[in-house]
Chains A and B, each alone.
Chain A
Amino acid sequence: MRGTVNTTSTSEDVVVRLRDIGKTFPGVVANHDVNIDIKRGTVHAIVGENGAGKSTLMKILYGVQKPDSGTIEVNGTQVALSSPADAIGAGIGMVFQHFMLADNLSVLENVVLGAEKLHGIGDAARTKIIEISDAYGLDIEPDRLVEDLGVGARQRVEILKVLYRGASIIILDEPTAVLVPQEVDELFGNLRELKSEGLAVIFISHKLDEVLSVADEVTVIRRGATVDTVPASSVSSKQLAEMMVGSELPDPSTETSTVTDKVILEIRDLTLPAPGGGRDLLQDVDLVIHSGEILGIAGVEGNGQSELVEAVMGMRPCNVGSVSLGGQDLVGRSTRERREAGMGYIPEDRHRHGLLLDAPLWENRILGHQTREPNVNGPLIDRSGARKDTQRIVDQYDVRTPGIDTLARALSGGNQQKLIVGREMADDPILLIASHPTRGVDVGAQAAIWNHIKRARREGLAVLLISADLDELIGLSDTIRVILRGRLGETFDPATVTPAMLGSAMTGADA
């Protein structure tokens, strides 16, 4: 399939024209033959599965990366964007998926940085910020430190940064990933407002329903190339999925319940005080997971999910309340002892917590299992045992790699994650803690990981699932609990709950 371009638009409407953009990283073609026209006064969505090359393309448009081939036209003139400064000069602004904010600087400083010539760095700038904030209802106080802001407010600061520079083309990279449904609705309201003022909004996402609700046009990217651009009104999400991955998107839904009455994990009154004083990170958490049960935790990022996981894993010392696994009290036990007692752990950030990126796969197989066969032999590493078992994981979990001596860094995100899942399932754990198990992986790996979790659940595994993807959470879980400001709140039945209901509970708006 070659990229085709919608030719109905007149040229003066087109503010950004990308032609034959190509970009290659070592061993990876991130983009090729990308052709997109973006029109004034529209929201233009770019969809594709994780790893399809959307983010790279946007970094090219924002001058962070240079394309290897192709041309970019902005407002009819061909431009060479060799740094974000060029892009900003051309009227392009970008809100990154991972916010680009300096925590220890104030909102004002973050906003004026690099644009000091506009209104200085003092009172004039402050007035301007308040003016923009009021005009768009962004509710931003210029003198607060960014580190004191929540996720939603940070995103609004990012949008304000773009508006402050008077951008006419705004790129938002996966802006809804960290928002609850209600916040998403508000964001979309803002986007429509920007659109009505004649701005062009480029909206990157892999969530098709959202895309269809806000976008005017949708461009689908697959394996680095544009598949097609279609009006949002003329396609269904099923058709988009077909264009994106060539088939229907995998479905996380589990079949019949396998929940037993055998308690595996029991948490009572778990409290975790904040190290620097202030509100407790976790407060009186009570939670029970049975054999064969998947318990999902829903919550806005930063409400205590990571702390809960770390407390259960023993990575954070925690002496208020009790945690027991299969009836065995875990208080005072180290992470290693907890792992040996039957805990598996899929961390939320596989690069930071799951892998030794510069070590070969077989050494990564040992990680987390340094005291257990077949990896060790007394105090010595059993090299051949570990290698044999790594090969087994690579085969069984379909980890695509040339061999087990390959460095973990060289694998794609999906294959890295499959290796981690295989490793964590290796010693038949009785409890699996899965933090965002399919974040940032391609559709194939996503389906495979879901299937592995479902299979293990049938065999009696208890799973503590944390995910920001509400569809994943509702589909996989047997029970859903909501976490808010360190407290576990309502319990929902996934069979009846809607994402909107969860969203209200996650922000405390229904309380």
Chain B
Amino acid sequence: MTRNPRTLKIALAVGAPLLALVAAFLITSLVLILAGDDVGGVWGQILSLPTDRGYINILNAATVYYLSAIAVAIGFRMNLFNIGVDGQYRIAAFTAAVVAGEGWLPGYFNTALAMLAAVLVGAAWAGIAGLLRVTRGVSEVISTIMLNAIATALVAYLLRKAAVKDTGSNITATKEVPEGSRIGGIKLFGDVPATVYGLIFLAVAVGFLYWFVINKTTFGFDLRATGSSETAAVASGINVKRMIVISMLLSGGVAGLVGMPLLFGNDYAYGSTFQSGLGFAGIAIALLGRNHPVGIALGALLFAFLDEQSNPLQILLEISPDIVKITQGTIVLTVVIAYEVVRRYGVRLEQRRVASALDDEPATEGVKA
């Protein structure tokens, strides 16, 4: 081989998601054409430069997406499918809102306490699925789907109990977080009042920690080993059941943080209008970013960008901005297909490389890619 395998590897890693993006754009365009909408207008708006305010919105949305995707990715590295991030972050955010609203502690102590509560509740909710899996062999896919629905009902019920009745308004929400416990934003542009969530740094810290633990520690090795082959992990002495529970707890704990930037930087309370569906977006973004902390960051920015840029479509072109959900969903499918194609290609390349390096080897059995 004359080409450097490392450069080729990087080229493939970048090429696959680009290919997927192009495919997703083509499919979305096809839908627009079939529906008789203005394709050029839609892409003209979406692919234009964001406004100053738009940049801030994108960063904010990406922060939340990022946390959600990291929560999902922790499970993925272990070959666990935590579909329950959606329920975990909502029930955790609700708990944190109640704790913060009560204001038992002064200032940021209150914030810290509320966030701790969120992490614990998120972890506990995910832990149920982990325990069911290791003690009763219940697939975490099914149990987390069920737990999502249960969380929805439970939060609705508890919210009704905990809500502050605001006469004249039909919004139900928890008590507001005291001023001193809110987390201020960062001003990017002098003339725009909107700010970037202060908790964007929390997302960065979580991302770094994720990378460090997974790649540099023996715990991370055990987690990855279990993810790539549970049977080999057992034989190597890893307590797989313990690992499953721990990683579900970690995943749920991070999921608990998902709602925090919203709670302390924007909403200041948990109400019926609190953003939902972040867990599913997290799954998509984790897949797009291939469970890599930097890849996930790019994926989160992309999703946030599409959201933000599609917002004005309704006003400008009378086209429902939901069209980008088709794009986002298609990206998930195409990117997974692209990664798989690239993976198989990579394996074949590697096998050729090994064979050519060892010319004297006898023919071996057909190794399946």
A and B touching (Cβ–Cβ under 8 A) = yes
One of A357, A371, A400 near B361 (C-beta < 8 A): A400
Contact B219 A379 (CB under 8 A): yes
* B-facing residues in A25-63 (Cβ within 8 Å): 25-30, 50-53, 55-56
Contact B235 A347 (CB under 8 A): yes
A401 within 8 A of B: yes
Contact B235 A345 (CB under 8 A): yes
Contact B348 A339 (CB under 8 A): no
**What 0/1 readout, one digit per residue, does chain B (212-243) give for beta carbons within 8 Å of chain A?**
00001111111011001101101111110000
Cα(A359)–Cα(B221), bound, Å: 11
**What 0/1 readout, one digit per residue, does chain B (227-261) give for beta carbons within 8 Å of chain A?**
01101101111110000000000000000000000
Contact B232 A367 (CB under 8 A): yes
A409 within 8 A of B: yes
Contact A358 B228 (CB under 8 A): yes
Could you list 23 A-B pairs, sorted by A, with CB under 8 Å? A26-B349, A26-B367, A28-B355, A28-B367, A50-B365, A65-B366, A335-B235, A352-B229, A353-B232, A353-B234, A356-B225, A356-B229, A370-B221, A370-B236, A379-B219, A381-B216, A402-B357, A409-B350, A409-B367, A409-B369, A410-B347, A412-B364, A414-B364
A436 to chain B, nearest CB (A): 14
Contact flag A223-B363 (CB < 8 Å), given A356-B225, A402-B354, A409-B347: yes
B139 within 8 A of A: no
B77 to chain A, nearest CB (A): 13
B165 within 8 A of A: no
A contact residues vs B (CB 8 Å cutoff): 25-30, 50-53, 55-56, 65, 223-224, 313, 315, 334-339, 345, 347, 349, 352-359, 363, 366-371, 376, 379-381, 400-402, 406-407, 409-414, 440, 442, 444
Contact flag A381-B363 (CB < 8 Å), given A27-B351, A402-B354: no
A223 to chain B, nearest CB (A): 5
**What 0/1 readout, one digit per residue, does chain B (196-226) give for beta carbons within 8 Å of chain A?**
0000000000000000000011111110110
Contact flag A28-B228 (CB < 8 Å), given A339-B237, A368-B235, A406-B350: no
Contact A352 B366 (CB under 8 A): no
B35 within 8 A of A: no
One of B217, B237, B351 near A381 (C-beta < 8 A): B217
Contact flag A335-B219 (CB < 8 Å), given A352-B231, A410-B350: no
B187 within 8 A of A: no
Contact B235 A400 (CB under 8 A): no
Contact A402 B235 (CB under 8 A): no
Cα(A29)–Cα(B228), bound, Å: 28
One of B216, B219, B237, B363 near A336 (C-beta < 8 A): B237
Cα(A363)–Cα(B354), bound, Å: 18
Further pairs besides A52-B363, A335-B239: 11, Cβ < 8 Å: A51-B364, A223-B363, A315-B234, A335-B234, A335-B235, A335-B237, A355-B232, A356-B225, A407-B347, A412-B361, A444-B362
Cα(A442)–Cα(B364), bound, Å: 9
Contact A359 B365 (CB under 8 A): no
B365 closest partner in A (C-beta): A51
Going nearest first, the 8 A-B pairs with the smallest beta carbon separation are: A27-B355, A336-B237, A402-B357, A26-B348, A27-B351, A412-B364, A368-B236, A27-B352
B296 to chain A, nearest CB (A): 20
Using Cβ atoms and an 8 Å threshold, which residues of chain B touch A338?
Answer: 237
Using Cβ atoms and an 8 Å threshold, which residues of chain B touch A339?
Answer: 236-237
